[in-house]
Amino acid sequence: MSERTFPFLRLARALPAEISIPIRVADFHEINADFVGGEAADQASRCIDCGNPYCSWGCPLGNRIPQWLKLVKEDRIEDAATLMHETNPLPEICGRVCPQDRLCEGICTLEEDFGAVTIGAIERSVTDEAIKRGWRPPEATATTDKRVAIIGAGPAGLSAADRLARAGVQADVFDRHEEIGGLLTFGIPAFKLEKDIVRTRRRVLEDQGVKFHVGTEIGRDVAFEKLVDDYDAVFMATGAYTAVDARLPGQQRAGVVVALPFLIANARQQMGTATAADVLPDLGGKRVVVLGGGDTAMDCVRTSVRLGAERVTCVYRRDEANMPGSRKEVKNAREEGVIFRFLAQPLAIVGGDVVDGVEIAETRLVQDGDGRARCEIVESSSQTIPADIVILSFGFLASPPDWCARFGIEPDDNGRLRVGGDTRLPLQTGHPKVFAGGDNVRGADLVVRAVLDGREAARSILSQLNVVA
């Protein structure tokens, strides 16, 4: 193998420059920059175009990764952006927040011996640069008289809006929040995804003709039946917002907070839109314990560090290998000083009126069958971790609006909307004009899969409306 033919032999995998730890924990800016100069082209040149595009198979969107890496290598930034947008309406966002180690990069042919191609970082850098240069997604070749209402401006809703606009269909997006993005804005903190990136995408979508109606809750400000009557189709992309309640004794004590309201209050403080309802506890010099091991828990521990907590501990009942959170986020949290207590089950929140600790017991993992290992509490292992603030982060369940059933849009036993099946189009609900996708269909999942659902729901809607994309 020659270094001339295979650049990966002389060129190591590299991520864009990372802000040093003491500086990055002092604010909420993203911790990685974009690639600059020829860095993206150099990293793209590490792709060996192996003939079996495992990376594309590992990407839920089936992105044509080797093909756009080749364009980046040739410095054809706008062409690469066009190809990226063929499969992914939000590449700069997925490039930032996807757990690449479990998706595209995890199965790159180079991963095991040489380090995967930095696919996510290239995807975000190229899209940022192309948009900065004035590049825009291809325009619709013809407009139609069709109109589609989208409920929810999260990644599923935005993805559908892009596809519909590109097919010449008017997309009207309604969201109860004051800004678009769903959990991209009111969940994922700015150190993973700066809010300017979402605002830039909003401008791109508006240039494509998408209309946003923010601060509008369907079912409260506008009746759902009005959308069904006024539009040719409706896409429900309403997310999953029912926090899992572990019913821990003592969880009503002052100082115990729930993860998402905590992150939303912080996001609004950062954006300058906080209201009296956005209560953010003072974490300065406090001992914070976060219960849970998913992406939300990782965002809470890292937010707590930035809000000045003296000591931040994450308690998770399984081991590190079985954590649902992204590996890169665990690494980042650890670098920022977060302490992890794995194999520890919270039993109760202790204290008086105000919390002063979390009682935990040690656990062991027991493998009974083929499924996920079960957690078993180790006898006489309980102890108390001192805490001034406890953040509950046990995940989310789908939260179907209560008016759904009146329209034949049925949830399953876990609250997820039922879609598709033998007699319906993909992502079509029990109401022929109504489609659904993202977390409200899957349960709490990933941005990239919400983007996939938005794209595929738009495809179904276009086919129902006989619009050729």
Interface residues with ligand FAD (CB under 6 A) are 97-98, 151-157, 174-177, 182-183, 187-188, 192, 217-219, 237-239, 260, 263, 295-296, 299, 401, 438-439, 445-448, 450
Residue 102 — left, alpha, or beta (φ > 0 → left; ψ -120 to 50 → alpha)?
alpha
Q: How far apart are CA 34 and CA 17, in angstroms?
A: 8
Secondary structure class of 47 (helix, strand, coil) = coil
**Binding-site partner at residue 88 among ligand FAD, ligand SF4, none, CB < 5 to 8 Å by type:** ligand SF4
DSSP E strands in 154-269: the ranges are: 170-175, 211-214, 233-236, 242-243, 256-258
Q: Name which of ligand FAD, ligand SF4, none residue 123 binds, using a CB cut-off of 5 to 8 Å depending on partner kind.
A: ligand SF4
**Least gap, CB of 332 to ligand FAD (angstroms):** 11
Q: Would you say 53 or 155 has its CB closer to ligand FAD? A: 155
Give kind and range of the element (H or E) at residue 383. Answer: strand 383-386
Query: Are 99 and 113 a contacting pair, CB within 8 Å?
Result: no
- The binder of 360, among ligand SF4, ligand FAD, none, by C-beta within 5 to 8 A per type, is none
Q: Residue 65's binding partner, choosing from ligand FAD, ligand SF4, none, with beta-carbon cut-off 5 to 8 A by kind?
A: ligand SF4
Question: Comparing C-alpha atoms, which of 454, 439, 446 is closest to residue 166?
Answer: 454
Which among ligand SF4, ligand FAD, none contacts residue 175 (Cβ within 5 to 8 A by kind)? ligand FAD
Q: Contacts with ligand SF4 in 72-111 (CB under 6 A)?
A: 88, 94-95, 98, 100, 103-104
* CB of 116 or CB of 343, closer to ligand SF4: 116
What's the maximum distance between 2 C-alpha atoms anywhere in the chain?
A: 71
The answer to whether the beta carbons of residues 348 and 248 sit under 8 Å apart is yes
Query: Site for ligand SF4 (CB under 6 A): which residue of 65, 83, 291, 434?
Result: 65
281 binds, among ligand SF4, ligand FAD, none (CB under 5 to 8 A by kind): none
If binding is defined by CB under 6 A, does position 218 make contact with ligand SF4?
no
Is residue 182 at the binding interface for ligand SF4, with CB under 6 A as the rule?
Answer: no
Output 238 or 363, the one with its CB closest to ligand FAD: 238
Beta bridge partners of 359: 348, 384
Shortest Å distance, C-beta 146 to ligand FAD: 21
Dihedral (CA of 142, 148, 153, 156) sign: negative
Question: Site for ligand SF4 (CB under 6 A): which residue of 30, 123, 336, 453?
Answer: 123
Q: How far apart are CA 122 and CA 59, in angstroms?
A: 14
59 binds ligand SF4 (CB under 6 A): yes
Strand order from edge to edge, sheet including 170-175: 211-214, 170-175, 147-151, 233-236, 434-436
Comparison of 125 and 238: residue with beta carbon closer to ligand FAD? 238
Interacting positions 427-456 with ligand SF4 (CB under 6 A): 448
Q: What secondary structure letter does DSSP report for 105?
A: G
